[in-house]
Chains A and B, each alone.
Chain A
């Protein structure tokens, strides 16, 4: 009888294996980086988030909005660790549109701590008009909105590894993935070749080069390091409560394991004289 099950399992395995691999795409798998916030006890590295913010501010924010974040978030616990005064000072360097005033006019004023990050373009069409028809995505949840399909069996192993860093790995890969196109690859006009971008042709020109952003803490000013720092910052922007989540998670897991253990022994005691 077990042979019947074996036949069934074999038939299933055969029907699955004859599928072969999906057609090779032009997209390479993003190399996995080491992140301070991975794993059950991982938390954000404040200095890295501050460096990443510097890159966002000096480079990315020229085209990419960060609509869902407010300046006050910069001083939130579990974030880049700016003081409230520093966050207010950063806000004041941005001009935000307010109004209408008593005369019915919209007006510009320096940003306050409660303001959202002002978008680089007044609307999507203005962005497209300025950037050759391409709309740069908002960066607020970008780090959770990008992933790579690792396929079987990696996706199962990743659950046990607690791998949730697809997004930052992808962002780092894109920033470091600008290369000469391989022979025979036709890059469409206005596009760039990037081996980690789906399809291989990305609209964004190479945004970072070595030494472009100044670091004051001695961290190497390489594209690789920039990519890592800004990806970490964007992960924080997308998942600002990660530190709190993992801290609470440890307490909950500890409680549940002890509680389940106590219930197990209670159950044993209750059932000990009962054949079942």
Chain B
């Protein structure tokens, strides 16, 4: 997608096609000859893993949709029908449900890698913002997918999350009624969630194309954060990146398959095997694990409006990272202080995740407030100040120097 292709079609047919639709040279320049920094580590394989997971979710989702009934009276039963009477329906459903979890696990690693190596910095701001948009789309898609089996957690998660919009001053109540398509979460809500859950993955696929386009415009970052200078710094995408991505994808799939085949319900909540009952609130409403840190931030703040603002802000703030970070050095390998603060940030997100799964009482709220404060302080205070005060380590002159010189 970038630069001039060196692809030379050999066969008469390919030459004929090349003059009419240069798709072969596009593939060649994007996925074969495309130069990748030679020092990429395994943290860089998660982009490919995420593309694979999107494919898995779309393929299994399309087949599941053939057997699913989006109606409050039949949704739960149709999901159980998939588990019992559809050939390999149990496999499709477990692959899809655990697939969502592994999709999120991969995206969190992908984001963390970007934060560690400064992949959000100039000239990759648009690439990074497209990534934040992708993450937001994933959050929306995953949430609506969780509602579809119409179990107790589906129903009550839908109720809690849609109710967040009632915090909008003035029009909140009307917005919620509009989202529900009624005066409570009901059949119209389930129907529109199903429709959007089917639509959004294709929107994600579209934004992924933009994300990859932007990536191929600016090139990949690398562990040193120093831009490739000449051909010695890079290797062709195929075979080098392809085989490395392929190997680590298969390692990722081993863990994924372990969950699908041996502990398929480990990441789910047992209450979601109880059919939705609007008359009975579960003792403890919790979202899926991948939303828990944000849920903890929401509950840490006593005011509903502020809590919702913090919830939305905790994700949107990522989009402003390129400008909040004032340092000119990309990689945390050369930023000793940033590296420490970033690890504390990762720990506080994990801590928030644990707190999000617990009852919001007593010490838990206090701890959630401490960690949520750190979460925002990291972006608003630490990132801007570090660029001014941090003494960074000397950067290598080039990637090949760092690789061949035996340096880190």
- With A260-B250, A274-B240 known as contacts, the answer to whether A241 contacts B83 (CB < 8 A) is yes
- Find the B residue at minimum CB distance from A269: B243
Asked if A164 contacts B244 (CB within 8 A), the reply is no
Instruction: Check B351–A16 contact: CB distance below 8 A.
Output: yes
B354 touching A5, Cβ below 8 Å? no
B358-379 to A contact mask, C-beta < 8 Å, 1/0: 1100111011001100000000
Given contacts A1-B337, A12-B347, A22-B359, contact A276 B247 (CB under 8 A): no
Per-residue contact bits, chain A 138-180, to B (CB 8 Å; 1 contact, 0 not): 0011001111000010000011001110110000000000000
A256:B250 contact, CB within 8 angstroms: yes
CB B372 to nearest CB in A, in angstroms, measures 11
Q: Would you give the shortest CB distance from B141 to chain A, in whole angstroms?
A: 25
Contact-residue size bin, chain B (C-beta under 8 Å from the other chain): 35 or more
Size of the A side of the interface (Cβ < 8 Å), in residues, is: 57
> Beta-carbon contacts of B10-36 to A below 8 Å, as 1s and 0s?
000000000000000000000000000
A131 at the interface (CB under 8 A from B): no
Interchain CB contact under 8 A, B77 and A253: no
Q: Is the CB of A12 within 8 A of B38?
A: no
Residues A256 and B253 in contact, CB atoms below 8 Å apart: yes
Q: Do A266 and B247 touch across chains, with their CB atoms under 8 A apart?
A: yes
Asked whether, in the complex, the Cβ of B348 is within 8 Å of the Cβ of A12, the reply is yes
Query: Within B324-373, which residues are at the interface with A (CB < 8 Å)?
Result: 336-337, 339-341, 343-344, 347-348, 351, 354, 358-359, 362-364, 366-367, 370-371
A183 at interface by CB-CB < 8 Å? no
B278, CB-defined interface residue at 8 Å? no
- Choose from B80, B84, B239, B400 the contact partner of A270 (Cβ within 8 Å): B239
Contact A276 B344 (CB under 8 A): no
Smallest beta-carbon distance A24→chain B, Å: 13
Encode contact with B along A10-40: 1 for CB under 8 Å, 0 otherwise.
0110011011101000000000000000001
A129 proximal to B (CB < 8 A): no
Q: Dominant SS at the B interface?
A: helix
Using Cβ atoms and an 8 Å threshold, which residues of chain B touch A40? Answer: 262
A19 and B367 within 8 A (CB): yes
A163: chain B residues at CB < 8 Å are: 263
Interface of A with B (CB < 8 Å)? 1-2, 4-5, 8-9, 11-12, 15-16, 18-20, 22, 40, 68, 73, 137, 140-141, 144-147, 152, 158-159, 162-164, 166-167, 198, 238, 240-241, 244-246, 248-250, 252-253, 256-257, 259-260, 263-264, 266-267, 270-271, 274-276
